[in-house]
Amino acid sequence: AIWHKRRLSQRFDERSFQEAYHFLLKVLKHKGLKKNNDQTLREFARVVDVQYDTNAMSRLTDYVEQMLYKNERIKAPSDEVIQLWEDLMNK
């Protein structure tokens, strides 16, 4: 977790963000929140947000979808993304 945070902080790009997001999915799975194969990322994000009473996962997922499906660069300030990611990691 510390490695991903440091990497996001030092080099905020699509690759480091995508790796940190995938790491978050693994951590959530370990905590009992596993994405089903038939769920979209957005559907899974809503489940996580309800579980933790937040909107952080949906916001992060919006950025991932922009990157993956719209082929856009991340349009969020790096400090916002890092904070959302950290908040979820600490739940």
Q: Of 13 and 63, which is predicted with more confidence?
A: 63
Tell me the pLDDT of the chain averaged across its residues: 86
Closest among 62, 66, 58 to 88, alpha carbons compared: 58
Cα distance between residue 76 and residue 78, in whole Å: 6
Burial of 26 (0-12, 13-18, 19+ CB in 10 A): exposed
> Taking residues 21-32, what's their average pLDDT?
93
Q: What does DSSP assign to residue 89?
A: H
State the pLDDT at residue 44: 97
CA angle 73, 34, 5 (to 5 degrees): 45
Q: Of 1 and 79, which is predicted with more confidence?
A: 79
**41-46: long-range pairs with CB below 8 Å, 24+:** 41/65
Whether the pTM exceeds 0.85: the reply is: no
